[in-house]
Amino acid sequence: MAFDTSSGYVAPSNLQDADASLPMFNIERVSLQFAISSDFVAAEVANNVLILALSTGRILRIDLDSPADIDDIDLPKKPGEIGVIRRLFLDPSASHLIITTTLAENYYLHTQSRTPRALSRLKGVAIESISWNPSQPTASTREILVGASDGNVYEVYIEPSTEFYRREERYLKGVYKVPEGPVSGIWTDLIPGRTDVRRVVVATSSKLLHFVGRIGRHGHEGSGSIFSKLFESESPTIHEVSESLPTGPSSLAISPEPQDTLPSDPAASERIFAWLTSQGVLHGKLLTSPDFSDLGSKVFSETKMLPRSQIPPSHTAGGRPRLIQDPVTSMILSQWHILQLVEGRIVAVNRLDDTVVLDQIVLEPGQTALGLVADVKKNTFWLFTTQEIFEIVVTDESRDIWKIMLKSQHFEAASQYAKTSAQKDAVATASGDYLVGKGQYLEAAAVYGRSTKPFEQVALTFIDKGEQDALRKYLLTKLSTMKKSSVMQRVMLATWLVEIYMAKLNTLDDTITTKAELSESMNTADSQDQLSTIRREFQDFSTKYKSDLDRKTTYEIISSHGREEELLYYATIVNDYNYVLAYWIQRERWQESLAVLKKQTDPEIFYKYSSVLMAAVPVDLVEIMMRQVNLDARKLIPALLNYNKITKASLSQNQAIRYLLFEINQHQSTDAAVHNTLISIYASHPTSDESALLSYLEAQSYANEQNYDADFALRLCIQHKRVQSCVHIYSSMQQYVQAVDLALKYNEVDLASNVADRPETDSALRKKLWLAVAKKVISQSSGIKTAIDFLKRCDLLRIEDLIPFFPDFVVIDDFKEEICAALEEYSRQIDVLRKEMDESEETAAHIKSDIKALEQRYAIVEPGERCYVCSLPLLARQFFVFPCQHAFHSDCLGRRVIELAGITKGRRITELQVEVSKGVSVGSKKEKAIKELDALVGSACVLCSEMAVKLIDEPFILETDNKDEWAL
């Protein structure tokens, strides 16, 4: 279809927005692209599907999304037999169509069918209205209510069938009777949260009936009536219009399904009903509530009547208003307006304030209108005549709702429907002024914060009224709406808020302390609760707006009010842990200090405060430091040494040692400063037990490490007389003489003996050490026998080595046995040496005989034998024959040896070959050269000696070889 727009609409000046470029309602004539042979007699629109009925009995079904596709459907019988089509009823989903004629013949047509089927059970029922099932089915109509011209209400279930003999209606049952006459409108909907409850609204010319109640249930769907129970058990709530005419206009309209309801306004999703009567239009909300006991009374109590007198009269040919009211022939609802067809005019009235927003003549004189139709699914509106179709196009229908809401002082709704910033600001300003006038300062503060009313006016208003709470709320709201680029303004507002919060907290503290009441309605307990609330509010505020607060200024403000908790909270959220720690440490609040330190990962904080905390809470501090992974132990050494200086703890309880061992064992520290510090603490401790220090030194030795400074450790151990440790360090430095001397100096004979056995590979040194030990033992021994028994531990010392150490007055009888044992041992050794000499003499004789046999050794060379290098006859020139029977020409062997031998040997062979071939040497010198050359060349066979083994990684086929010879 094509659209032919008509002009003539002018918005009223008192509602026209400055930026409204299009009229709210515009009536457009639809150009029909098909020829009609007769007049329209009925029309319906739903879900963008248009149904037109012609006086000839034809039905046109047009999809407005693709208007070129038109279904042309005929009724089974001619109009002469069944009458002319009187009304069409199309469900909201455009799936089901019911057709009624002037002779009360009724037909059903499904969207998937082109053949209307007669409704035999509804034969003779003059249908005036239909209430479709709220579930909007597509396969069947499910349970629907039909209002008839005789006042009866029927329940019917229609399901399309392809079987010829089967009726379309599963059942038909009369469920209610309205004595007043035709049922001009009927509506059914659900109650949210109550699946077994239905609401039914029935309209006649004089009464509007509201039913709500439980429906019946059956074994399976379509097996029987469900509305009978409701109508039998529930009494309707009735709204009656006095002095109504039985033949007067009457219809029931329901607003379209909400298209753009606001999520914050659940009430906006409630549908609107409008009842056209001879007195005017009664309209209101179809309220919903799980408690439906008096729902009808609530609905009718909130209704509003738009009287007929509110509709402007038409004008005579002379331009004067007509004295007789024009009849209203049709009425529909849009989201916010009531549209009425009044004698060829379309009048749109805002249902909120009864303002006429459209009054336009559409029909020519004498032109007959079929009525107004609304597509409740697509929110479109239509006017049909017998020859033409008009669409009422709605543009931004809710544009002026905010003004109406504002005028009626519904500020929250006005704010929701205000679209531009100027509109929202106007609503906020008016709302704030209204609330201030009523003394509702806190509510006004929130509203003013969203407006552009001058800041100083609002602030002074609250200050003059002494409303500090309202001022705080206003500043918070203003700060939340201020742009990030307004840095200075944000800083000033945030700083002012800090001052207000602190003053409020102090006031509440004073109230609690003095146990006085703030006002008649607030006692001390209330003050305590409010104190907690304000404290939490300040914490939330400072966390959210910490970037808008100047740190130094904020500290000064909070400190000036003496608010310790708030001061520390602010310092914490801005990560100023130096400030927090310094605060607690200054007051010697160690547990609070540690609680802050536990949350830190910055090493500098630990370095800065470790000295004082190690002195006060060493165990807890070390626990915290051991959980850190980024500390440099070297920077903690001053704190550890200071702690060690003042502590009286044992080595096992010393926290400095604990942390240093943790660094060494767990973090594998190799820093010499760490190791030296540990040694220093071990060595300087008052205890005489040096097992801990010795264990550490031995662990270093076992790990083949020495991460400490040995000279430094040695000086400390000597200074503090840690003999075992000194001996161990000397030994680790392989200074065994000094180790033994030091051990003997302090009479540690066993320790010296252990050291004396360590140089296992140096027998002379070992003997020297043992002699030193022996001298000490002999000098200390009370008896010669005891000294000699002790010295048997070493296998290097003999009795003759010890005799010089014995005193001159010692009698030989005291160690006669030892001397005899030594002489016997010497005798055994002499026998062994004599035996070895005899064996050596025999071996030398064998060698001489072998050498003499070598002079007579020979090898047999066959006449045809060839050189293993060049493959030419061997006897052609000088050659070498090896014991392995490999034979080579002298020159071939020489070249091969030069290739395989090293650079130095190869160069020497080349020099000797040149010297011999050119006769450079003569006489004995030449013989010497030849002998040397033969020795170098013929030292080993190149095929089976060590030189051949070195060729194991050389390929069989070289790049220079003919590979075809090796082909398989």
User: How far apart (Å, rounded) are the C-alpha atoms in residues 112 and 369?
Assistant: 30
The 10s digit of each residue's pLDDT in 466-511 is 888 888 888 898 888 888 888 999 999 999 999 998 988 888 888 8
The 10s digit of each residue's pLDDT in 690-736 is 888 888 888 888 877 888 888 888 888 888 888 888 888 887 777 87
User: How far apart (Å, rounded) are the C-alpha atoms in residues 952 and 156?
Assistant: 105
pLDDT greater than 70 at residue 522? no
User: How far apart (Å, rounded) are the C-alpha atoms in residues 99 and 58?
Assistant: 11
User: How far apart (Å, rounded) are the C-alpha atoms in residues 430 and 422?
Assistant: 12
Q: Is 107 helix (H, G, I), strand (E, B) or coil?
A: strand
Beta partners for 131? 145
DSSP 637-676: HHHHHHHHHH----GGG-HHHHHHHHHHHTS----HHHHH
- Return mean pLDDT, the chain: 82
Q: What is the largest CA-CA distance in the chain?
A: 172
Do the bridges between strand 185-191 and strand 85-90 make them parallel or antiparallel, or are there none, so unpaired?
Answer: unpaired
Considering only residues 948 and 372, tell me which one the structure prediction assigns the higher pLDDT.
Answer: 372
pLDDT greater than 90 at residue 601? no
How much is the pLDDT for 320?
Answer: 64
Q: Average pLDDT of 589-596?
A: 87
Q: Average pLDDT of 585-612?
A: 86
User: How far apart (Å, rounded) are the C-alpha atoms in residues 511 and 528?
Assistant: 9
Phi, psi of 759 (to 5 degrees): -75, 75
Q: Would you call 798 exposed, middle or buried from its count of C-beta atoms within 10 A (0-12, 13-18, 19+)?
A: middle
How much is the pLDDT for 783?
Answer: 55
The 10s digit of each residue's pLDDT in 45-65 is 999 999 999 999 899 999 988
User: How far apart (Å, rounded) are the C-alpha atoms in residues 71 and 59?
Assistant: 8
Q: Is 968 helix (H, G, I), strand (E, B) or coil?
A: coil
Distances (CA, A) of 516 to 468, 508, 512, 535: 20, 10, 7, 20
Q: Is 635 helix (H, G, I), strand (E, B) or coil?
A: helix
Distances (CA, A) of 39 to 53, 101, 364: 9, 15, 16
pLDDT greater than 70 at residue 6? no
Identify the sign of the CA torsion 283, 289, 294, 298.
Answer: negative
pTM for the structure as a whole: 0.57
Query: Which one of 39-48, 792-801, 935-944, 957-966 scores highest in mean pLDDT?
Result: 39-48
User: How far apart (Å, rounded) are the C-alpha atoms in residues 863 and 861?
Assistant: 7
How much is the pLDDT for 959?
Answer: 72
How much is the pLDDT for 580?
Answer: 83
Q: Letter for the amino acid at 955?
A: P
First CA to last CA distance, the chain: 90
Q: Which helix (H) or strand (E) covers residue 449, if one does?
A: none
How much is the pLDDT for 553?
Answer: 93
> What are the DSSP E strand ranges found in 119-214?
127-131, 142-148, 152-158, 169-177, 185-191, 194-203, 207-214
CB 592 within 8 A of CB 617: no
How much is the pLDDT for 322?
Answer: 65
The label of the residue with tokens 């062994």 reads 832
Query: Which one of 8-22, 358-372, 743-757, 826-840 scores highest in mean pLDDT?
Result: 358-372
* Among 592, 538, 531, 545, CA closest to 567: 538
Contacts of 825 (CB under 8 A, 6+ apart): none
Considering only residues 294 and 222, tell me which one the structure prediction assigns the higher pLDDT.
Answer: 294
